[in-house]
């Protein structure tokens, strides 16, 4: 009349649950995305992302040092310029906001944390696309690659340990790898945005980078209905020399993350993006969920699905919890 199997025995106390836990999130697994806004002396709050700011150069340095103190594994920097143009020239300019911010952070924290840079043109173009446009208004893949190559070298020279090409241009990893090697930056790693999907969850990010996008990115980002093509993108990125790969977004694509993790022989990252962050914040602000528990539950689920690293706006805060 009584059960012979009692799984609840292994759930009986906090110590028992801790002992048998299969998945662990540690500070080193977390990467903090950071925005730096040109021309400001104080951080500017992002309305759609409560608690996240567009940093000044000085506050960026301070936040980077705080992340190091909390044990965070990496930083991913995004630049927000005051001037944009059709080719995104600010992205390759040594004095452009992203490149000077990389130099600032490298000077502040050195090699004590992995400094990463977003390698994409969308923050720098007046049309908001991730590449340059041809005469018909379509994104010109191959013309964009030439700029990506120059941008990668500029970011490595500025101090990035890792460049993160996120534009989803065909051949981007190979072109950037060739350019980095030719310029002598053979130790600069590439984190490929391998499976980056067209998503409604990017909304708050558009405010964070002051996007000027017209139209959409459906001709180069992946369709959310598809999964097999993620493996094709993975094979191509690895063949071209990717050192790490990424799935973006994370929470609505845990199945893709699991598939990529099962097939990749390099570290796998996932990006808990702006809309995922803002949903947690909005629900918590309304008293509908326990914020801190929801944060750790979602981070654990992303790790459980196969992520070695998680890009998350909660990185420093969660790392502080984990340290204590």
Select which of 62, 84, 196, 218 is catalytic.
196
3-state secondary structure at position 149: helix
- Does residue 84 have an active-site annotation? no
Place of tokens 């190559």: 149
Alpha carbon distance 243, 173 (integer Å)? 10
Alpha carbon distance 157, 244 (integer Å)? 20
Partner residues linked to 139 by β-bridges: 133
3-state secondary structure at position 76: strand
- Does residue 248 have an active-site annotation? yes
Partner residues linked to 118 by β-bridges: 164
Partner residues linked to 53 by β-bridges: 45
Whose CA is closest to 299, among 266, 324, 267, 321? 321
Which residues 6+ apart lie within 8 Å of 85 measured at CB?
Answer: 124, 125, 126
Name the residues annotated as catalytic. Answer: 196, 248
């Amino acid at each position: 009349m009584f059960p012979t199997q009692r799984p609840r025995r292994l759930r009986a106390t906090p110590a028992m649950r801790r002992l048998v836990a299969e998945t662990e999130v540690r500070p080193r697994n977390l990467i903090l995305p950071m925005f730096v806004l040109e021309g400001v002396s104080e951080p500017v709050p992002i309305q759609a992302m409560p608690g996240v700011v567009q940093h000044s150069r000085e506050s960026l340095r301070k936040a980077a040092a705080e992340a190091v103190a909390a044990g965070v594994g990496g930083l991913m920097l995004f630049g927000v310029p005051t001037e944009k143009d059709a080719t995104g020239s600010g992205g390759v300019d040594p004095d452009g906001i992203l490149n000077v911010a990389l130099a600032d952070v490298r000077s502040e924290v050195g090699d004590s944390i992995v400094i990463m840079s977003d390698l994409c043109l969308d923050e720098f173009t007046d049309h908001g696309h991730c590449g340059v446009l041809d005469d018909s208004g379509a994104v010109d893949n191959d013309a964009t690659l030439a700029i990506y190559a120059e941008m990668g070298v500029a970011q490595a020279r500025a101090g990035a340990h890792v460049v993160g090409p996120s534009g989803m241009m065909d051949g981007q990893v190979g072109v950037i790898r060739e350019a980095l090697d030719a310029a002598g930056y053979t130790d600069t790693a590439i984190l490929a945005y391998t499976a980056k999907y067209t998503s409604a969850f990017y909304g708050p990010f558009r405010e964070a980078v002051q996007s000027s996008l017209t139209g959409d990115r459906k001709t180069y980002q992946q369709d959310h209905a598809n999964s097999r093509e993620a493996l094709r993108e993975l094979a191509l990125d690895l063949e071209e020399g990717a050192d790490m790969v990424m799935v973006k977004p994370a929470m609505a694509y845990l199945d893709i993350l699991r598939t990529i993790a099962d097939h990749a022989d390099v570290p796998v990252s996932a990006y808990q993006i702006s809309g995922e962050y803002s949903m947690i914040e909005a629900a918590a602000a309304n008293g509908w969920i326990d914020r801190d528990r929801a944060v750790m539950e979602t981070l654990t689920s992303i790790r459980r699905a196969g992520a070695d690293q998680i890009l998350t706006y909660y990185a420093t805060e969660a790392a502080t919890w984990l340290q204590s």
